[in-house]
Amino acid sequence: MAKAYSPGLQIRQRVLHASRRLLPIPGDVLVKVGDRVTADQIVAQTFMPGDVTPINIANQISVAPAEVPHCMLIAEGEEVHVGDILARSNGIFGFFKSETRAKTAGTIESISHVTGQVILRGAPMPIQVCAYQAGTVKEVIPDQGVVIESEVTFLQGILGIGGEAFGTISFACENKQQPFTDDLLDESMQGKIVIGGARMTGKAVSRGIEIGVAAMISGGIDDEDLKEILGYDLGVAVTGSEHIGTTLIITEGFGDIAMADRTFNLLKEREGAKAAVNGTTQIRAGVLRPEIVIPLEHKTSPDNKTRQVNSAGILETGVPVRIIRDPYFGLLGEVGEMPTELRTLESGSLSRVLEVILDSGEIVIVPRANVELIEG
Amino acid sequence: MNSTTAKQLDPNQINVILATDCGSTTTKAILIEKIDGEYRQTFRGEAPTTVEEPAADVTVGVVNAVTEVGELAGRKLIDDNGEIIRPAQGDTGCDIYISTSSAGGGLQMMVAGVVREMSAASAKRAALGAGAIVMDTICSNDKRLPHEQIQRIRELRPDMILLAGGTDGGTQKHVVELAELIAPAKPQPRFGGTYKMPIIFAGNQEAAELVAEAFDDDVKLTTVANVRPVLEMENLAPARDAIHDLFLEHVMAHAPGYNKLISWADAPIMPTPGAVGNILQTIAEQQNINALGVDIGGATTDVFSVFNGTFNRTVSANLGMSYSISNVCASATLPMILRWVHLEMDPRELRNHIKNKMIRPTTIPQTREALVFEQAVAREALRLAYIQHKEFATTLKGVQQQRTVGDTFSQNTSGASIVDNMKLNLLVASGGVLSHAPSMNQTASMMIDAFEPEGMTVLAKDSIFMMPHLGVLAQVHPRAALQVFERDCLIYLGTCIAPRGLYRAGKTCFRYHIRSKSLEESGEMLCGEMKLFPLDENEQAVVTVEPSRGYDFGNGPGKRTEFKARGGKVGLILDARGRPLVVPTSETDHLSELNSWVEELQLYPEPALTEV
């Protein structure tokens, strides 16, 4: 067998890319098919039912739960303001009445005669979805959202922190091997997507947050630095909801590791362009990798290299790969021979292996599971 | 065929059985055939699971895996329409087809109960026993404010909710209160759209109507018998059955291709862990033993135990060897992991390695150092999962106890763990890092270090992870399931003999005498020592041990004990490191002892010249 499947990160200079922008619950779509949209334009919105506050009226006015409906001064479905009297007990012979007031505003959703509990629902919360990717509305999914399509330069990282961000591409490092340190950042980078080279230091991240950069992208990061930035040790690679003040994307992995040549050069080509990034990562079933989406200004003819984004590729002789495990972690090369028989590794395990002809010309043998394709 | 009922088949007419397990990443198919009157597992095939795009149909992966089995077996199992051929005729088809599934993350549930230690604990046991991952347990005394509980329910997207609380005829108020919290939270199911959230009510039966009143038409409420009808008793079966039914009717029916798979299967499709629990219970019952099984995966670790007939299962959601490896290191701490590493390693590099494995979970260790480190992490993941299991598998809490004068000095309370290492007879390992370890000695060593078995314990591993298949088979053909389990499923590693009692440097721990066809050995074990004696799979040895004062093999401290030990691929292991297992505090002593264990158990032999 000379072919095998291996997942890889996508690094594409020009690709027709579509983003699905959906509401978590049904709502209104604000654009129509064919509309041109900008990255920060709101394309769909809805209202989420408000927060719920349970109030134990029976306890508060010292009556039996069954009496609560009779003591309520506000009926189900009616609005309540802070300070309104919700319920009043009958007292003894009309004296010693006790009452309770609302501490939050909302609408009375239910009054229970079994538990004496009243459910107060707060005002609906608006939820808006922006276009994220500048482009054309290709499809409207009624009540749910839209699909936006455009030709873009598309790159995936290996791990991100934080969610979506927008800005222009700006460079801090001069080459892919240069560590991304705090002294390379200045005030002019505020609101920009700043590209580094090799390891991004913890101090650089702090400085980036201080300046207010939109996102920081580099080859590697140290585990200790990430722990300090987050305030906890990242246990599973499910990220995107962090609010650290910026979005981080690591393209290669943990440690002193330079950004892949192709990634660095491609970003360099698009320096000054407007881009959208998303640090959301989910390394579980249904993998999500962080991404950098840089829309292209002009549409090209269909016969050029524009292709649909493909999530898996074929591992075969001649394709470029990155080794993703020790002892050759981070090295790049191309696939040489792919022997079919199992080989015994130094660890003693039996495994399918392949040859990698490194950029230096050296040939190394590694398990097939320990390489990933560099797609593009 | 109905989704929830098995076809009535005459077991004597079943000669060829096809079983699949649709996992998150791979679908594994096995063929079981009747050979000379006995059921044997004969062929195995696997293919990637196809629940996600582009195939988005689980049966595509099933057909691929089954085709591979068919090609290996020289038996045509799939017809021209891409369906499984039944019944078997000559070299074509099979008599029954069964399946389990954990694809798409398995069954994810939320559990609610009034008191955490009582009804909520029972409800959680029912959910876990049915093979679910419990995302959260909401209860009246979970120290969260009601609005925080509601917020949590809103954030979760479970496949279903199990609500329990109150004994039958007891107070109704608290369980209705819980229902009133869940209803307005309007929990959103994972599969969205037209799917109605299934809620199972298994609490005070007299409160059923009031609970029903609390919910509107957005949910599908099912009422079953109370999981805790009285404080002194648990009744988990009806809730478990309801979970299985709803899993098929709602959850699986919404997953791509499952309707077709359900119609193909001759028995209800079970969640994978539920099936594993099933076979372990069957074995423990049939052989009248206490058994413990563990399945360590990339993201989670499942522990199953049967002690004195009581079954328990726990899922440690974030203890695993790839996706969750970083969490294992965060929970266990690096020094605890490094106590199992006999080679010099740089801690900073190791921390980065761990994170790199987390973000690229499919890689495998190429070097000996990487293997040693991964196996050290596995020991800690297993140890932590086992601690969680012991804390969960307890006697019922809240039961009134009568004490006599004799109990004056006894500290026993309700809610004590029923897991007792001294009473454990069989320890079964499965999951990548244990099943695919380059040497079985490594598997045995990881199991002993993590679980610390006491007295005599037989060690085994699931050869090709076929316990799920056999769990479903046990429902339709228990005899076939047992025969295959005994002959083909388990690979016996051997027996571990270890006393309970603390390590005392330089002291004698016990004296031993071993007698078998091929062995006649006797000697003395110093504290901290391990010894391995080869003992063939088909052999048994009589082992007599005389512990020093303070050490106990099950007959009491210092009492002579005799065991009949079973052989295996590894052999007989004598372990005098003491229990609980504590490694020496001095770095030099620790390394010297660690190296002696590695050497004695022949864990990491020097690499041969041909290796890469």
Interface contact B184-A224, CB threshold 8 A: no
Letter for the amino acid at A47? F
The domain defined by B106-235 folds into Rossmann fold (3.40.50)
Give the position of tokens 């974030």: B318
- The backbone torsions φ and ψ at residue B161, rounded to the nearest 5 degrees and listed phi first, read -125, 135
Give the model confidence (pLDDT) of B174-222 as tens digits. Answer: 899 899 888 888 777 766 556 788 999 999 999 999 999 999 888 889 9
Residues of A within 8 A of B611 (CB-CB) are: 343-346, 348
Provide the mean pLDDT of chain B.
Answer: 87
Give the distance from CA B597 to its chain's centroid: 27
What chain A residue is nearest to B333 in terms of C-alpha separation?
Answer: A233
User: Model ipTM?
Assistant: 0.84
User: Which among B64, B215, B366, B367 is the top mutation candidate for probing chain A, defined by the most A β-carbons within 10 Å of its own β-carbon?
Assistant: B366
Residue A311 tokens, joined: 């999530």
Residues of B within 8 A of A329 (CB-CB) are: 356
Interface contact A54-B147, CB threshold 8 A: yes
pLDDT of residue A291: 95
Interface contact A286-B52, CB threshold 8 A: yes
Interface contact B25-A285, CB threshold 8 A: yes
Any CB–CB contact under 8 A between A49 and chain B?
A: yes
Per-residue pLDDT at A326 exceeds 90: no
Listed residue (A311, A323, A276) closest to A160, CA to CA: A276
Peptide bond preceding B48 in cis form (omega within 30 of 0) = no
Closest chain B C-alpha to A372 CA, distance in angstroms? 9
Interface contact B177-A115, CB threshold 8 A: yes
Interface contact B355-A223, CB threshold 8 A: yes
Residue B77 C-beta-side C-alpha neighbours within 13 Å: 30
How would residue B4 be classed by pLDDT, with cut points 50, 70 and 90? very low
User: Which among B172, B197, B301, B360 is the top mutation candidate for probing chain A, defined by the most A β-carbons within 10 Å of its own β-carbon?
Assistant: B360
Between A207 and A97, where is the model more confident? Answer: A207
Average the pLDDT over each of A5-9, A257-261, B496-500 and give the range with the smallest value. Answer: A5-9
Interface contact B605-A348, CB threshold 8 A: yes
Is A145 within 8 Å of A20 (Cβ atoms)?
yes
- List the single residue in B186, B365, B366 with the smallest CB-CB distance to A49: B186
d(CA A275, CA A245): 18
The rounded radius of gyration (Å) of the Cα atoms in chain B is 25
d(CA B552, CA B455): 8
SS3 per-residue string spanning B473-529: HHHHCHHHHHHHHHHHHEEEEEEEEECEECCCCCCEEEEEEEECCCCEEEEEEECCC
Between B394 and B595, where is the model more confident? Answer: B595
Q: Which residues contact A302 (CB under 8 A, 6 or more apart)?
A: none
d(CA B417, CA A173): 58
How would residue A304 be classed by pLDDT, with cut points 50, 70 and 90? very low
pLDDT of residue B491: 93
Residue percentage of chain A with pLDDT more than 90: 55
Listed residue (A192, A217, A214) closest to A291, CA to CA: A217
Give the model confidence (pLDDT) of B160-170 as tens digits. Answer: 999 999 999 88
pLDDT of residue B431: 85
Average the pLDDT over each of A238-242, A292-296, B46-50 and give the range with the smallest value. Answer: B46-50
- List the single residue in B172, B355, B370 with the smallest CB-CB distance to A114: B172
Average pLDDT over residues A37-49: 89
How would residue A235 be classed by pLDDT, with cut points 50, 70 and 90? confident
The domain defined by A52-121 folds into OB fold (Dihydrolipoamide Acetyltransferase, E2P) (2.40.50)
- List the single residue in A24, A255, A346 with the smallest CB-CB distance to B607: A346
d(CA B296, CA B324): 11
Residues of B within 8 A of A117 (CB-CB) are: 177, 180
How many CB atoms are located within 10 Å of the residue A233 CB? 18
Residues of B within 8 A of A347 (CB-CB) are: 364-368, 370-371, 438
Interface contact B329-A233, CB threshold 8 A: yes
Is B352 within 8 Å of B317 (Cβ atoms)?
no
Per-residue pLDDT at A4 exceeds 60: no
Q: Which of residues 193-212 of A touch B (CB under 8 A)?
A: none
Interface contact A346-B147, CB threshold 8 A: no
Residue B545 tokens, joined: 């041990």
Closest chain B C-alpha to A63 CA, distance in angstroms? 14
**B11-103: CATH number:** 3.30.420.40
**A158-289: CATH number:** 3.50.30
Per-residue pLDDT at A138 exceeds 50: yes
d(CA B511, CA B527): 11
Any CB–CB contact under 8 A between A345 and chain B?
A: yes
Letter for the amino acid at A87? A
Residue A267 tokens, joined: 């970003």
Between A298 and B384, where is the model more confident? Answer: B384
Average pLDDT over residues B592-596: 92
Per-residue pLDDT at B9 exceeds 90: no
d(CA B112, CA B119): 8
Any CB–CB contact under 8 A between B55 and chain A?
A: no
How would residue A126 be classed by pLDDT, with cut points 50, 70 and 90? confident
Listed residue (B325, B262, B310, B304) closest to B131, CA to CA: B304
Per-residue pLDDT at B1 exceeds 60: no
pLDDT of residue B129: 81
Average the pLDDT over each of B132-141, B251-260, B475-484 and give the range with the smallest value. Answer: B251-260
Any CB–CB contact under 8 A between A121 and chain B?
A: yes
Per-residue pLDDT at B397 exceeds 70: no
Average the pLDDT over each of A4-8, A154-158, B90-94, B572-576 and give the range with the smallest value. Answer: A4-8
Any CB–CB contact under 8 A between B611 and chain A?
A: yes
Give the model confidence (pLDDT) of B337-390 as tens digits. Answer: 999 999 888 888 899 999 999 988 878 899 999 999 999 999 999 999 999 899
- Provide the phi-psi class of B172: left if phi over 0, else alpha when psi is between -120 and 50, else beta: alpha
Residue percentage of chain B with pLDDT more than 70: 92
CA distances from B349 to A67, A146, A177, A179, B353 (A): 67, 45, 19, 17, 6
Any CB–CB contact under 8 A between B191 and chain A?
A: no
Residue B494 tokens, joined: 């051997």
Q: Which of B352-366, B493-507, B584-598 has the highest mean pLDDT?
A: B493-507
Is B26 within 8 Å of B46 (Cβ atoms)?
yes
pLDDT of residue A308: 41
Any CB–CB contact under 8 A between A240 and chain B?
A: no
What chain B residue is nearest to A310 in terms of C-alpha separation?
Answer: B54
Alpha helices in B428-581 (DSSP H): 432-435, 440-451, 467-476, 478-484
- List the single residue in B186, B214, B612 with the smallest CB-CB distance to A353: B612
Q: Chain A to chain B, count of Cβ pairs less than 8 Å apart?
A: 177
How would residue B413 be classed by pLDDT, with cut points 50, 70 and 90? low
d(CA B347, CA B25): 32
Average pLDDT over residues B473-497: 91
d(CA A208, CA A186): 8
d(CA A51, CA A106): 9
The domain defined by A317-375 folds into SH3 type barrels. (2.30.30)
User: Which among A201, A249, A254 is the top mutation candidate for probing chain B, defined by the most B β-carbons within 10 Å of its own β-carbon?
Assistant: A254
Any CB–CB contact under 8 A between B195 and chain A?
A: no
Cα dihedral across residues A243, A246, A250, A256: positive or negative: negative
Interface contact A237-B349, CB threshold 8 A: no
Average the pLDDT over each of A371-375, B69-73, B208-212, B355-359 and give the range with the smallest value. Answer: A371-375
For residue A144, the 8-state DSSP code is T
Domain segments of chain A as ranges: 52-121, 158-289, 317-375
Q: Which of residues 550-589 of B touch A (CB under 8 A)?
A: none
Average pLDDT over residues B546-562: 95
Any CB–CB contact under 8 A between A4 and chain B?
A: no
Q: What angle do CA A157, A330, A243 make, to 5 degrees?
A: 30
Any CB–CB contact under 8 A between B371 and chain A?
A: yes
Stretch (H or E) spanning A241: none
Listed residue (B216, B20, B231, B224) closest to B127, CA to CA: B224
What chain A residue is nearest to B298 in terms of C-alpha separation?
Answer: A284
Closest chain A C-alpha to B319 CA, distance in angstroms? 9
d(CA B491, CA B598): 22
Give the position of tokens 């809610």: B415
Listed residue (A22, A234, A224, A19) closest to A135, CA to CA: A19
Average pLDDT over residues B512-526: 94
Domain segments of chain B as ranges: 11-103, 106-235, 291-395+418-600
User: Which among A158, A223, A229 is the top mutation candidate for probing chain B, defined by the most B β-carbons within 10 Å of its own β-carbon?
Assistant: A223
Interface contact B607-A367, CB threshold 8 A: no
pLDDT of residue A1: 36
Per-residue pLDDT at B305 exceeds 60: yes
d(CA A132, CA A127): 15
Give the position of tokens 């900008």: A38
Count of helix runs (H) and strand runs (E) in chain B: 17, 22
Is B107 within 8 Å of B132 (Cβ atoms)?
yes
How would residue B108 be classed by pLDDT, with cut points 50, 70 and 90? confident
Peptide bond preceding A320 in cis form (omega within 30 of 0) = no
d(CA B348, CA B346): 6
Domains A52-121 and A317-375 share a fold: no
**Residues facing residue A88 across a β-bridge:** A99
CA distances from A76 to A95, A108, A118, A121 (A): 27, 5, 9, 11
